[in-house]
Structure 1
Amino acid sequence: MSKLRPALHDEITLRGYSPRTRETYVYAIEKLAKYYDQAISTLTDQQLEQYFRYLTLEKKLSRSTILVQLNGIHFLYEHVLHKKFKVKVCWPKQKQVIPELLSRAEVKLIISHVPHEKYQTMLLILYGCGLRISELMHLKVSDIDGGRETLKIRQGKGGKDRFVVVPPSILALMRLYWCRYHPGVWLFPSRGEGKQPLNESSLRKQLKTAVRLSGINKRCSAHSFRHAFATHQLEAGMPLHQLQHQLGHSDIRTTSRYLHWLPELGHGGVDLLSGWGDDHG
């Protein structure tokens, strides 16, 4: 793997893939190399198929996780090893799981248990604007447009830029944060010289502790705040196409899943048995 790494990094860079994609591809390939403990270029199609059976049957990984592994290994074969990739993967059935949605009161309670003001600010922006954690971490001070009340999201999922609306309360919060911490380039820089954005793991650790202290038993991650934003905005009447743009979804069907998670937002239908007792008593 050490010999392949420079070539892999070069091919990823040439295609302008994100740092997150780089990390996941390298991780997938390292796992494969560790499993067989032999040069990846010498693996047979049968060995590769057996590896993916192992991920499904023994590791019991989800369909989406296996797909990430497959993408990384396929990229290596196609663009670095220049070999045909003819592996047949038996996919586990995709589970349709509704996440445990947070109420407004639960969001407020969790954030109140975050001891550090900086991390409270980060979670409030995450929730108030519906951002992905990677988008939050890569915000620059120059991305804030107070006059237009927008944030520029650079290279979001799918490598696309977009603008999102920022509510006045979040703008005021960011101004207060800037006055207190005076960030340079990155809105949330790493410690030290601050030339890099803060690592996502720092916020995740703070959130995990806050959830435990709050006593809320729901499964909660940084992405739960994005789900909470979407559901609460729909409850408040935001049109679906506007929510689609705010979240950065390419396909409105991805956004419409929130309607399925919140059946009370749709028309409740007519009670066909209403009044039957009066007519046929």
Structure 2
Amino acid sequence: MANQSSTPNQLTDARISPLRLRLIEDMSIRRMSPGTQRSYLSSVASFGEHFGRSPDGLGYEDVRAWQLHLIEAGLSTSAVNARITALCFFFRVTLNRRDAPEMIPLARAPERLREVLTPEEVARLIEAAPGPKYRAALSLAYGAGLRVSEVIGIKVADIDSVRMVLRIEDGKGQRDRFAKLSPLLLDELRAWWKASRPRVYMFPSRMSAFAAARQSG
């Protein structure tokens, strides 16, 4: 049961912010994505709220108790591990407790085979796209193995039709990389470009504006 102590939680109490600022600085120094930072802040704050105390006043036994609480509450293994990973970072980096990785174990997730679409199913999926923009975007995601965030971040200048490669900036792990570009995929992208004449991003949207801000930051 949560301890209803009156000790203020520095992650949520607006009057006491040094701990929150320190955690944000630690994440920013390591160039963690905005989404990861929000997730970590939320997890660490929830940890403190559960016990009614500031997180820096809690220990590994409290982490264990909260982990059991999350499991008993019915959260999935991945959801529990996401929260515990945030606590591991908080203890190891922000609180400088170097033994945190050994003291805060993650639950082992069950390994399941993923369903793989047949080429015919993929073709039907792409053909069912509502318009040439989405057909080109789906073709790009499938043909080059890109994530959604990578597709919306592709610029016209990233397509190299001479070397037949595609430049992906700020991909997973905030790394740049190249992907192969097939002649069929190049034709699909050219058809979309001729139809819409995008200037910077191949698929302009509010999300591509977010991608631009992330890459410039």
Q: CA deviation at 1:43?
A: 2.4
Match of 1:117 among 132, 141, 161: 132
* 1:56 aligned onto 2:90: no
* 1:79 aligned onto 2:118: no
Match of 1:177 among 188, 192, 211: 192
List per-residue Cα deviations over 1:118-171 (Å, max 9, x = no partner). Answer: 222211111111122232232233221121111112233334322111111211
Match of 2:157 among 121, 125, 142: 142
Question: Hey, what does 2:210 align to over in structure 1?
Answer: 196
Unpaired runs of 5+ residues, structure 1, are: 199-281
Match of 2:80 among 66, 69, 82: 66
Percent pairwise identity: 27
Once the two structures are overlaid, the 10-residue window that deviates more, 66-75 or 33-42, is 33-42
Give, as a single letter, the amino acid of the residue that structure 2 aligns with 1:178: W
Question: Hey, what does 1:99 align to over in structure 2?
Answer: 114
Provide the rounded CA distance (Å) in 2 between the counterparts of 1:74 and 1:90. 9
Q: Aligned runs of 1:1-281 on 2, under 5 Å?
A: 1-2=11-12, 3=17, 4-62=19-77, 64-83=78-97, 86=100, 88-89=103-104, 91-191=106-206, 195-197=209-211
Give, as a single letter, the amino acid of the residue that structure 1 aligns with 2:205: S
List per-residue Cα deviations over 1:33-69 (Å, max 9, x = no partner). Answer: 454454222323322111112233432422x443332
TM value normalised by structure 2: 0.73
Greater RCO, 1 or 2 (C-alpha within 8 Å, sep 6+): 1
Unpaired runs of 5+ residues, structure 2, are: 1-10, 213-217
TM value normalised by structure 1: 0.58
| Number of positions where the alignment pairs a residue of Structure 1 with one of Structure 2 | 196
